[in-house]
Amino acid sequence: MRCAVTASFNPSDNHILGALPSEVGQRLLPLLELVRMPLGKVLYESGDALQHVYFPTNCIVSLLYVLENGSSAEISVVGNEGMIGIALFMGGESTPSRAIVQSAGYAYKLLGQRLKEEFHNNGSMQVLLLRYTQALITQMAQTAVCNRHHSVDQQLCRWLLLSLDRLKDNQLTMTQELIANMLGVRREGVTEAAGKLQKLGVIAYHRGSIEVLDRPQLEQLSCECYAVVKRESDRLMPRPI
């Protein structure tokens, strides 16, 4: 059964891999390893020298900044539209962030050295990765403004939408505690905000799993930040094939 699941993936499930010209795809194919991404797995810690990069298929990875006092905030989300480990080709080899699997699934893993070689071939991989990086920058920047000016209610909506876009169904496996860590707020704050959404019939919550029932309303309740990031990503990133 597990084998059947893994066999059902294809590198082009990831938008970056899928957008590469076939000759590049052929070159990389034997180097890609499909790996399981269990919930909570830490891909790298703040300051770690990165050894591999990951191209998600159906998993979601959060990039978190953690403060000295232990509080944290998510600065961006990566799903099958992107890649984890941009610091490698940017030249830094490490970043002050933590990458942690927020929704379980699979990803293609590639040796960092291989990615750097491909990047410095100056070909389509470079173009794709740079455009993706700009989309990521937009997401971080918008998160910064959002953290400053929008309510927890609005931010929860934004966050649900960001996650939803990276999954195939409308079912999230996610405790309120975890969401609170991502948003950098109290767990009780998430409880309250999620309660409102549940009363409105937008979501159905049940012990660690959320079903989104009314996505249009979720978009209405969200702050503009979701739409800004989405629009910019669509502009910058290749369409799925």
195 is a contact residue toward DNA (CB under 7 A): yes
Q: Which one of 90, 208, 220, 234 is in contact with DNA (CB under 7 A)?
A: 208
Q: Within 70-89, which residues bind its own copies (CB under 8 A)?
A: 71-73, 75, 87, 89
Please identify which residue in the block is written with the tokens 């080899």: 93
Cβ proximity to DNA, 84 vs 179, nearer residue:
179
Cβ proximity to its own copies, 11 vs 238, nearer residue:
238
124 is a contact residue toward its own copies (CB under 8 A): no
Three-class SS of residue 79?
coil
Sign of the dihedral through C-alpha 227, 39, 115, 49 = positive
Describe the crossing of helices 152-164 and 176-183 by its angle, rounded to 10 degrees.
110
Q: Within 50-69, which residues bind its own copies (CB under 8 A)?
A: 63, 65, 67-68
| Binding residues for its own copies, total number by CB under 8 A | 41
91 is a contact residue toward its own copies (CB under 8 A): yes
Cβ proximity to DNA, 125 vs 157, nearer residue:
157
232 is a contact residue toward its own copies (CB under 8 A): yes
187 is a contact residue toward DNA (CB under 7 A): yes
Closest CA to 223 of 138, 141, 160, 151: 151
CA dihedral 100, 35, 18, 98 (to 10 degrees): 20
119 is a contact residue toward DNA (CB under 7 A): no
C-alpha to C-alpha distance for 63 and 100, rounded to whole angstroms: 7
114 is a contact residue toward DNA (CB under 7 A): no
Candidate segments 27-35, 106-114, 151-159, 223-231, binder of DNA by CB under 7 A: 151-159
End-to-end CA gap in the chain: 27
Long-range contacts of 115-119 (CB under 8 A, 24+ apart): 115/53, 115/85, 115/88, 115/89, 116/88, 116/89, 118/24, 118/27, 118/28, 119/89
Residue 142 binding partner per list its own copies, DNA, none, with a CB distance cut-off of 5 to 8 Å that depends on partner kind: its own copies
Closest CA to 86 of 54, 117, 109: 54
138 is a contact residue toward its own copies (CB under 8 A): yes
Q: Which residues bind DNA (CB under 7 A)?
A: 71, 151-153, 175-177, 184-189, 191-192, 194-195, 198, 205-208
